[in-house]
Structure 1
């Protein structure tokens, strides 16, 4: 059974039975950091007397989460004086290009970030990821999160956090204009109209890298077509990517554009460099639909904005099949080990440290993240709210681009960006996706 099929069948029970933890991911700022000087090679040559074993780690987490990862690596090196670790933080979209190149060039990092699902499976199928079945304690993690790193019954990574997609908004601005978080999509449209009438851009978005806009398509398709709309098309069990719900979602995106729902020039703005967040920080926009990593970034680059910030879920579409409690999200990071590592035992120990209960608790307490590790306590108010969203959810839709084959994932992002730019019709976008699905996934 595929990871997608398992996800859909166990998610409800997992969310109700497990002591929930989860979230993270998404945004990454440009830049990198080195914990210690080292070659960029995936390992060192055979260790001579007194020479340290060298491991490399690539990850995308930013802000406080970045600090916590680096501190964990420093603590690991103190506990393992014969090991030297070089950790590099890489911007989200740069990473998605850099890692496949490194893998293809036989020069991968020893431990690397992924989102699990189809993105990780590509490397697993190519024999580039180490099987860690039995090497880590699978019972330490939420089954729904661990499942996205499990293929053909074997485990190829361990999850640290999960990512939820929510609206982040300026509470003071909403109060100023007599607005409340929307319960229905029509409520959201009324908020958009009110803000526009007062000279405020309703929604900030930086869609140069395409995935921020894709969040809208995923939610709208869910709210119109229901929880199974994507799975039925992806698994080729009666659904298609040119289903009327996908077309309707595209139409709704273009209606939002016509309604001036988004900041000017959104398709050319860069999320990684903070261009969309600046609109919220400066009071020029009121809200942004983003992954839960947004909180970490705000705390790092503009902590004074946190007191103004609130969160709410994507509202229900009247007449649609999706529930207001359905969430869009995923696992981020899943840490995996390259099959080429020269020091598998040390890599496994570092993998355990990077997905430990101790680090997960600090993610919750210091970064406001909902984690994929069991038995942590929640005190951070934002983390508590996000945990409540998960507890209320009966379904979580993984990000399309982390489930689809890479070529089709890029087409999904390309066509969605084109929908926002109104250079393609919803019917044409859906047709291209379905043709690709027939070619890559079967009829």
Structure 2
């Protein structure tokens, strides 16, 4: 099976079967093009540190709030257990990280352990020989195969997953109650909510789309609800589908209809998500909801813990006449931790990788951060984590984020055209045409 098929299909059955309960067997994917070969430091074991000095490892990650605290605590515990090792950890803002890591990789100065989302984003580094093969060095049976597959290329393992990400609506329950609103089950219900809130001087939806990916969440969901679960796979794998499919054009039209309805906060296309500009609208009661990944909960608990009691979650509603199911989800795995092939201390890096993706840390992610994890045998008690687990178990399809599956050039074009759709500086037909032309050039006819 091709790499494109592997990334696009891996969630369909395995995620439901193995999602949040113990299940046997590791991930065994095949067919990805062989990555560029280079001699790994692990072939001959770790180097020795200079006399009197500790072995130094660097870790780059993007988790914030409680998740950041848990990672840092795990690293401190690792250093206590390995007194000859010093670990320097750096937390980097999400969008800054997406630029900083490729620069470090290209400059031959990467961190020893780094965050990724697996899939196409990680594969680009694997293909360049920049990621250490950890096949047989970690116990693959400890992880959900559906999540582990995102770090598996040509039957070899290049990382380990810790947490999963689901895209859901986060909303202010008090505002909904004040205006007699219920979480929508259909898209028409959502439009009614938007109109009601606008009539009462409340911005219906907050979004910070300066970095483009928040708006892409809307586009992916609308395309799924209109065109069904296979719309992306068929176009990506070049098996009869195209990126100028009528459903993609219709998704663009629906986005621009939302803009015309004043569904979003003023200036949304220029707001910065990382600095919390969209969340402030929810915290202050000026907006009622936001479509975001499940890491939103962790950020809220860190930034504005008092808001948690007002907050609820619901899934993206169905679209009448569309082929997608209301239970279809958009999401991914984050973080997948991987090791640079340049590390001087591969043995120690592997041990740290195990600690950063351990059952113990995963359980604390669930208990203290309300996160759904990719590690087996954890227990769910946090109310939000329980609800997310139930939403996940009701789904038989999870669409990976487009920009983590598409080749880098197409991933950027996807975000650029989607942002342009929200800004109404591009027609849906033009956006679809550009995507399909790029697909023909990069993926084949």
Q: Give TM-score, length-normalised by structure 2.
A: 0.93
Assess, with a 3 A threshold, how the Cα gap between structure 1 residues 33 and 167 changes in structure 2: closer, same or farther: farther
Does the aligned pair in 2 maintain the 1:130–1:156 contact within 8 Å? yes
Assess, with a 3 A threshold, how the Cα gap between structure 1 residues 92 and 27 changes in structure 2: closer, same or farther: farther
1:3 alignment counterpart:
3
Measured against aligned partners, the alpha-carbon deviations of 1:121-178 in whole angstroms (never above 9, x if no partner) come to 0000000000001111111111110001000110000000010000000001000000
C-alpha RMSD of matched pairs (Å): 6.3
Does the aligned pair in 2 maintain the 1:135–1:348 contact within 8 Å? yes
Compute the displacement of 1:404 (Å): 0.6
Assess, with a 3 A threshold, how the Cα gap between structure 1 residues 299 and 28 changes in structure 2: closer, same or farther: farther
Assess, with a 3 A threshold, how the Cα gap between structure 1 residues 33 and 50 changes in structure 2: closer, same or farther: farther
Assess, with a 3 A threshold, how the Cα gap between structure 1 residues 28 and 76 changes in structure 2: closer, same or farther: farther
Compute the displacement of 1:235 (Å): 0.8
Does the aligned pair in 1 maintain the 2:19–2:393 contact within 8 Å? no
Assess, with a 3 A threshold, how the Cα gap between structure 1 residues 280 and 100 changes in structure 2: closer, same or farther: same
Q: Distance in 2 between matches of 1:31 and 1:135?
A: 22
Does the aligned pair in 2 maintain the 1:29–1:62 contact within 8 Å? no
Where structure 1 has 5 or more consecutive residues not aligned to the other structure, the ranges are: none
Measured against aligned partners, the alpha-carbon deviations of 1:344-376 in whole angstroms (never above 9, x if no partner) come to 000000000000000000000000000000000
Compute the displacement of 1:51 (Å): 1.0
Does the aligned pair in 2 maintain the 1:43–1:343 contact within 8 Å? yes
Assess, with a 3 A threshold, how the Cα gap between structure 1 residues 142 and 325 changes in structure 2: closer, same or farther: same
Assess, with a 3 A threshold, how the Cα gap between structure 1 residues 346 and 38 changes in structure 2: closer, same or farther: farther
Assess, with a 3 A threshold, how the Cα gap between structure 1 residues 29 and 151 changes in structure 2: closer, same or farther: closer
Of 133, 138, 157, the match for 2:159:
157
Assess, with a 3 A threshold, how the Cα gap between structure 1 residues 44 and 96 changes in structure 2: closer, same or farther: farther
Q: Distance in 1 between matches of 2:27 and 2:155?
A: 31
Does the aligned pair in 1 maintain the 2:23–2:376 contact within 8 Å? no
Does the aligned pair in 2 maintain the 1:68–1:363 contact within 8 Å? yes
Measured against aligned partners, the alpha-carbon deviations of 1:248-270 in whole angstroms (never above 9, x if no partner) come to 00000000000000000000000
Compute the displacement of 1:232 (Å): 0.6
Assess, with a 3 A threshold, how the Cα gap between structure 1 residues 184 and 218 changes in structure 2: closer, same or farther: same
For the residue of structure 1 that corresponds to 2:412, the secondary structure is helix
Assess, with a 3 A threshold, how the Cα gap between structure 1 residues 153 and 27 changes in structure 2: closer, same or farther: closer
1:100-249 equivalences in 2 (<5 Å): 100-249=102-251
Of the structure 1 ranges 253-262 and 10-19, higher mean CA displacement relative to structure 2 is found in 10-19
Does the aligned pair in 1 maintain the 2:59–2:111 contact within 8 Å? yes
Q: Distance in 1 between matches of 2:343 and 2:142?
A: 24
Does the aligned pair in 2 maintain the 1:164–1:291 contact within 8 Å? yes
Measured against aligned partners, the alpha-carbon deviations of 1:198-250 in whole angstroms (never above 9, x if no partner) come to 00000000000000000000000000000000011111111100000100000
Compute the displacement of 1:11 (Å): 3.1
Does the aligned pair in 2 maintain the 1:43–1:53 contact within 8 Å? no
For the residue of structure 2 that corresponds to 1:218, the secondary structure is helix
Does the aligned pair in 2 maintain the 1:19–1:375 contact within 8 Å? no
Where structure 2 has 5 or more consecutive residues not aligned to the other structure, the ranges are: none
Q: Distance in 1 between matches of 2:90 and 2:39?
A: 11
Does the aligned pair in 1 maintain the 2:2–2:32 contact within 8 Å? no
Does the aligned pair in 2 maintain the 1:36–1:86 contact within 8 Å? no
Assess, with a 3 A threshold, how the Cα gap between structure 1 residues 317 and 242 changes in structure 2: closer, same or farther: same
2:382 alignment counterpart:
380
Assess, with a 3 A threshold, how the Cα gap between structure 1 residues 154 and 409 changes in structure 2: closer, same or farther: same
1:91 alignment counterpart:
93
Does the aligned pair in 1 maintain the 2:58–2:87 contact within 8 Å? yes
For the residue of structure 1 that corresponds to 2:130, the secondary structure is coil
Aligned residues: 443
Assess, with a 3 A threshold, how the Cα gap between structure 1 residues 27 and 91 changes in structure 2: closer, same or farther: farther
Does the aligned pair in 1 maintain the 2:122–2:151 contact within 8 Å? yes
For the residue of structure 1 that corresponds to 2:10, the secondary structure is helix
Does the aligned pair in 2 maintain the 1:72–1:354 contact within 8 Å? yes
Q: Distance in 1 between matches of 2:38 and 2:57?
A: 9
Q: Distance in 2 between matches of 1:183 and 1:261?
A: 18
Report whether the alignment pairs 1:35 with 2:29.
Answer: no
Assess, with a 3 A threshold, how the Cα gap between structure 1 residues 9 and 416 changes in structure 2: closer, same or farther: closer
Compute the displacement of 1:7 (Å): 5.2
1:420 alignment counterpart:
422
For the residue of structure 2 that corresponds to 1:375, the secondary structure is coil
Q: Give TM-score, length-normalised by structure 1.
A: 0.94
Compute the displacement of 1:10 (Å): 5.0
For the residue of structure 2 that corresponds to 1:318, the secondary structure is coil
Does the aligned pair in 1 maintain the 2:134–2:159 contact within 8 Å? yes
Assess, with a 3 A threshold, how the Cα gap between structure 1 residues 26 and 382 changes in structure 2: closer, same or farther: farther
Measured against aligned partners, the alpha-carbon deviations of 1:26-80 in whole angstroms (never above 9, x if no partner) come to 9999999999999999999951222100000000000000000000000000000
Does the aligned pair in 1 maintain the 2:167–2:331 contact within 8 Å? yes
Compute the displacement of 1:13 (Å): 3.5
Compute the displacement of 1:17 (Å): 2.8
Compute the displacement of 1:9 (Å): 4.8
